[in-house]
Amino acid sequence: MIDVHYFASIRESLGLAQEQISANPEITTVLALMNALVVRHGEPWDTVLHQSKVLMAVNKTVARPDSAIKDGDEVAFFPPVTGG
């Protein structure tokens, strides 16, 4: 299983804080996971997850869409963070 977490405005837009996705040979990158989530849930997931400013992390390390993932990983999606 891959643990997926959604934070802040992404969580609010999707109406979900977390879920688990069964690992399979087709989900080997964050982008593949994003696409699987869109297939699973439909809109607005496509719009929300494929925004250019969405940040992602794999096992609490900042990641990119082409970052590898595997069974047992934790993937998080969150909006850009600003400070002052």
Torsion, Cα of 54, 26, 74, 48 (10° steps): 20
User: How sure is the predictor about 84, in pLDDT bands with cuts at 50, 70 and 90?
Assistant: low
Q: Give the total number of structural domains in the chain.
A: 1
| pTM beyond cutoff 0.85 | yes
Examine residue 48 and state whether it is found in any structural domain, yes or no.
yes
pLDDT for 45-72, tens place per residue? Answer: 898 988 778 999 999 999 999 999 999 9
Examine residue 22 and state whether it is found in any structural domain, yes or no.
yes
Examine residue 84 and state whether it is found in any structural domain, yes or no.
no
pLDDT at residue 3 in the model:
98
Neighbours of 58 (CB within 10 A): 20
Examine residue 83 and state whether it is found in any structural domain, yes or no.
no
